[in-house]
Amino acid sequence: MRSVLKVLLAFVLGTAAIYAITAAGMLWYMDANRIFDRDGGMAMAIIFGIAPLTGLLGGVLCAIAVPLWRGRDRARLGAGTAAAPAWPLPLRMMLSALLYGGLVYLAGQSALWLMGSLTFGSYFAAFVVAFAPSALAVAAALLAAARVRRKARRPDH
């Protein structure tokens, strides 16, 4: 029963934290770039649409992460032997690649978004800048998958 309460608490706190971070960040972006919202539609979309959806996603991710972390801690506190991984290697590689690739892509897109409008001297320069987050995300995904695979092949793991 305590585990269920911890998962529910993680869901609620994760939802509230991600909601607050998303809403504050987007409203700050509007203010920093002097975006005028005459009828308040953009602010309402942020407060009642975008932030609740991202908050819900953050809560679900937190609720999934808590049992995984708790299981990892229990395995460490066990009889001193390494427990067999719960997930097969290809699934762990895929999940780590998706997670790290997605985070790097979001970071790259956020950086481009915060820069505002950019002007370029050629189409090639615009192409390179536009696809830089995607290329970085693919590189991060490949590195994350290779790290998981290398870690699984080590004899001490």
For 78-109, the DSSP string reads SSSSPPPPSS-HHHHHHHHHHHHHHHHHHHHH
Task: Examine the domain organization and report whether 17 and 63 are in the same domain.
Answer: yes
pLDDT score recorded for residue 13: 93
Higher-confidence residue: 76 or 129? 129
Q: Write out the two tokens for 91.
A: 């699934």
Q: Which residue has the higher pLDDT, 145 or 84?
A: 145
Last-in-domain residue among 55, 81, 107:
81
- 48 in the same domain as 95: no
Same domain, 4 and 68: yes
Pair 55, 107 in one domain: no
Q: Are residues 74 and 134 in the same domain?
A: no
pTM score: 0.52
Per the rule left: phi > 0, alpha: psi between -120 and 50, beta: everything else, 116 is: left
Same domain, 90 and 71: no
The 10s digit of each residue's pLDDT in 33-80 is: 888 888 888 889 999 999 999 999 988 888 888 877 777 556 555 655
**How many domains are contained in the chain?**
2
CB 110 within 8 A of CB 70: no
Burial of 144 (0-12, 13-18, 19+ CB in 10 A): buried
Question: Would you call 149 exposed, middle or buried from its count of C-beta atoms within 10 A (0-12, 13-18, 19+)?
Answer: middle
For residues 147 and 136, membership in a common domain is answered with yes
Q: Are residues 7 and 55 in the same domain?
A: yes
Cα radius of gyration (the chain) = 21
φ/ψ (deg, to 5) at 20 = -65, -40
Which of 38, 61, 81 is the C-terminal boundary of a domain? 81
d(CA 18, CA 90): 30
Among 33, 58, 81, which residue terminates a domain? 81
Looking at the structure, do residues 100 and 77 belong to the same domain, yes or no?
Answer: no
Q: Determine the pLDDT at residue 83.
A: 55
Q: Which domain does 32 fall in, by range?
A: 1-81
Amino acid type, 15 = T
Could you give the CA distance from residue 132 to residue 110 in angstroms, rounded to a whole number?
Answer: 12
Tell me, yes or no, whether 56 and 130 share the same domain. Answer: no
Task: Read off the pLDDT of each residue in 100-116 and give the average, rounded to a whole number.
Answer: 88
Q: Same structural domain for residues 49 and 120?
A: no
